[in-house]
Structure 1
């Protein structure tokens, strides 16, 4: 049994929270004397979701001189063949531990399966298993090079999706050679999703090109296949360049299909707009406009020190901080509700049913040092305690309970 005293909830209440048998058993004037944490009237909130990440490339630390998405892809195509399975495991485990210490307990990772030996997939499957006591990791089979760009990539994707440890079917239609191939790749992804009963989680329209409109194809296939609330579209940076009238027309259909859009602010603002002078576009899907249309929006960290991004510490508050600035979410209510972008909206996309601080829900909690959401975002500090299923799994922003032992988390491998 655990008792968290003097906890401030997101609605401003000051309560005690009692945890028994991995569940929240009481909220209010609860008592207990086993394991007691004094929250000191600071915020206690549900943990974070990282809805889009690449564990297989984390900490590869290579230089992308142009800073473009396309140079990053070229570098990665050469680098992935040189990486060993052990290197990928070591790097990915470091990333997972870092994210947990910063309060993220759900991580959806895209694994490049066009590396046809599947060493990357084998490595991340091992990381998923080794991390299961501290985080939930979902794997998306990601055809980085495209499904129809090389002969046999479609069968490689199918083979990956057959794996029971793979949770989602990936796609990247804007990386196909022709518009027709892009449409065909979306259709194949949904065929595989239905055949193996898996969600679809794609890189979609990750470009500045206003003519890249594969999201509409994803919407159509979602509706045709009845895959409501089972589809995620990552990046969709072209939406920033779309004509306003087109966005106005397509957004209600995205909502109808229950598609979650996942911007990746740290990386989107870095990679996009590289081929133009000034003024530069922001290159991120318009969060405020999507939320006004009722579209579910959740955020991803995407990368840490890899061919696409030289920085990153795995802190989803950094991601949120960037999103707020890019999309000008600085009104009072906008700031308060922005925390949903890394909490409840992610839970909705992940289909976590007992998420949040409520009696009978699983006891997943963050004990922070912030007085309110404003200070949480301003300072971006790690939680004092990260609690997963009623057990402290990380503390003080630098220690994690791994394989039953406390260890200090390394900033990089």
Structure 2
């Protein structure tokens, strides 16, 4: 019997409604949810008393070729997007495939330990780097087979148009033929966004691949590539999944424009992936007050019926000096800066993230995929608040990672007594 097919009982877990239950796994799915102790266990039992059981999160947007580059010789001061891009282009000239593989493997394992059993990474493809970053990520995917699902987006360089872009266009097609899962690019940064969008979408159509594009990562309210993408999909009947990441400019536009664009995006079936950590860091550095937040129009997109997911994006690289490889961080920022409820924020990094990636989403109920996270907490709010919480991660019905934290306080010195030389009438500081 394959290990994923073996029955596994998750005993004494807490469900979202506050009740406790036993959750029975088998064949990569949840087979039953029963009252605690109601059925005799078959197979292995893992006692998860004190843990809240949730659908596992996913990471729908990261950059494993850039991750953990904080040690390279680059300007470490505050930067905006353009200067971060320049720093990255300089740094990538000396990066080896082994270095990319090792950093990506470390980041993927950190994300897995946090609960993400599916990851989508953009990696640069073009004449400057060839396909070496894609090849490095393919090796990471092989090394982690059975522990998590890793998707690779071929993020193609400029130029793309005309004779000057021929080699980059060819390398994009080669990357897809060699195992990249989706077409990536940033058409809004081209001098002719419409023509660049045509090239990316037509390549995806010809290669029968989904699309995940960086769209309107700017505070320029005149940047309307998201609407153009929706029009392209609706006009062509594009049959593959489409994600639009960032979409920052939508948060700066007039309410009527936002409403119209959100309705178009919903009709086109496009998922929007917001990346709060990096965009809050990069955007609006030189903007006079009032300073915009650098997030897309999350509430309006959700109200229109758009799938809105959230990703961690960059971590400890020229684009973001921080990042803790934890979808809970993105969810927390959606609560604090995006004003979502904790449950809606967690949905953005779990079910919505998986739908944006073309994966099956589920719940803690029979028939759902056994992609699960058990976290030591009693509520979703508690899980988001406590970044150190103990976690157990399940992929395809089996335990793939468990984290336990230990905390203890030393006993005070029995000879120590509070100071008695304070002036009269004072008290201990609070």
Give the TM-score, by structure 1 length.
0.90
Which of residues 26, 29, 32 in structure 2 aligns to 1:23?
29
Given that 1:147 and 1:171 are in contact with CA atoms closer than 8 Å, whether structure 2 keeps it comes out as: no
User: How far apart are 1:10 and its partner, in Å?
Assistant: 2.5
Post-superposition CA distance 1:294-348 (Å, at most 9, x none): 111001110111110111120110111112111222xxxx333321101111122
Residue 350 of structure 1 pairs with residue 361 of structure 2: no
User: How far apart are 1:243 and its partner, in Å?
Assistant: 1.6
SS of corresponding position for 1:355? coil
Q: State the match for 1:56 in structure 2.
A: 65
Given that 2:53 and 2:375 are in contact with CA atoms closer than 8 Å, whether structure 1 keeps it comes out as: yes
Give the TM-score, by structure 2 length.
0.86
The alignment covers a number of residue pairs equal to 390
Given that 2:248 and 2:296 are in contact with CA atoms closer than 8 Å, whether structure 1 keeps it comes out as: yes
Given that 1:335 and 1:374 are in contact with CA atoms closer than 8 Å, whether structure 2 keeps it comes out as: yes
SS of corresponding position for 1:191? helix
Q: State the match for 2:270 in structure 1.
A: 259
SS of corresponding position for 1:234? strand
Q: State the match for 1:341 in structure 2.
A: 348
SS of corresponding position for 1:151? helix
Q: State the match for 1:411 in structure 2.
A: none
Q: State the match for 1:140 in structure 2.
A: 153
Please show how residues 206-221 of structure 1 align to structure 2 within 5 Å: 206-221=217-232
Please show how residues 200-349 of structure 1 align to structure 2 within 5 Å: 200-227=211-238, 230-329=241-340, 334-349=341-356
Q: State the match for 1:97 in structure 2.
A: 109
User: How far apart are 1:274 and its partner, in Å?
Assistant: 1.6
Residue 376 of structure 1 pairs with residue 383 of structure 2: yes
SS of corresponding position for 1:96? helix
Distance 1:14 1:227 in 2: 45
User: How far apart are 1:219 and its partner, in Å?
Assistant: 0.4
Which of residues 9, 15, 21 in structure 2 aligns to 1:3?
9
Q: State the match for 2:4 in structure 1.
A: none
Q: State the match for 1:173 in structure 2.
A: 187
Given that 1:101 and 1:382 are in contact with CA atoms closer than 8 Å, whether structure 2 keeps it comes out as: no
Q: State the match for 2:197 in structure 1.
A: 186
Superposed CA RMSD in Å reads 1.9
Could you tell me which runs of 5 or more consecutive residues in structure 1 were left unpaired when the two chains were aligned: 399-413
User: How far apart are 1:275 and its partner, in Å?
Assistant: 2.5
Task: Choose 52-61 or 122-131, whichever is displaced more.
Answer: 122-131
SS of corresponding position for 1:43? strand
Given that 2:209 and 2:240 are in contact with CA atoms closer than 8 Å, whether structure 1 keeps it comes out as: no
Which of residues 369, 373, 377 in structure 2 aligns to 1:366?
373
Q: State the match for 1:403 in structure 2.
A: none
Q: State the match for 2:420 in structure 1.
A: none
Distance 2:345 2:39 in 1: 30
> Considering only CA atoms, is the larger Rg found in Structure 1 or Structure 2?
2
Cα distance change, pair 50–35 in 1 and its aligned pair in 2 (3 A): same
Residue 46 of structure 1 pairs with residue 55 of structure 2: yes
Residue 81 of structure 1 pairs with residue 88 of structure 2: no
Q: State the match for 1:408 in structure 2.
A: none
User: How far apart are 1:250 and its partner, in Å?
Assistant: 1.2
Could you tell me which runs of 5 or more consecutive residues in structure 2 were left unpaired when the two chains were aligned: 1-6, 406-430
SS of corresponding position for 1:27? strand
